[in-house]
Amino acid sequence: MKKIEAIIRTSKYEELKQYLHEIDVDFFSWWDVTGQGNDTKFKKEIYRGSIRETSLISRRLLSIVVRDINLEKTINCILKHANTGVVGDGKIFVSEITGAYRIRTGESGDESLYINNSSLHEYDFH
């Protein structure tokens, strides 16, 4: 299993979310974030006729855990649909996940990442 952390422009989030669902990435976490790049050459950009600093662009951090076989298609989806072609589009980081557990059922490993219809139970809200 791999963990993908993608920092993208907030403006690309809704579009990317739709395409992630199309490739069966149905669960991920996200946070609104700010950060500072180290590229001193491109500190400003023109956006809708206004000059603004690229470090002030709204960003969203997505945290996605995928099976190894889904890593490349997930990365390619992010690269394609989070891209605007200008400085400040973001970064993707990949790390190894050594374990995962679904708290509700106790499933572990790859099985804990996706819904297994045989493990669905009627919810008791008493």
Percent pLDDT > 90 in the chain is: 63
pLDDT at residue 126 in the model: 47
Is 23 domain-assigned? yes
Give the 3-state secondary structure percentages of the chain, helix then strand then coil, rounded to 5.
30, 30, 40
The mean pLDDT value for 88-109 works out to 94
Reported as a single tens digit per residue, the pLDDT across 9-61 is 999 999 999 999 999 998 899 999 987 766 655 566 666 777 666 566 789 99
CA distances 116 to 18, 65, 102, 113, 124, Å, are 22, 17, 11, 9, 19
| Mean per-residue pLDDT, 98-107 | 93
pTM listed for this prediction: 0.78
Q: How confident is the model at residue 86 (pLDDT cuts 50, 70, 90)?
A: confident
CA atoms of 119 and 63, how far apart (whole Å): 25
**Structural domain total, the chain:** 1
Confidence of residue 81 (pLDDT cuts 50, 70, 90): very high
Q: Tell me the CATH number at 21.
A: 3.30.70.120
| Contact partners, residue 99, CB within 8 Å, separation at least 6 | 108, 109
Give the SS3 label for residue 1: coil
Whether residue 107 is contained in a domain is answered as yes
- Asked whether residue 124 is domain-assigned, the answer is no
Q: 99 pLDDT exceeds 90? A: yes
Domain that holds residue 48: 2-116
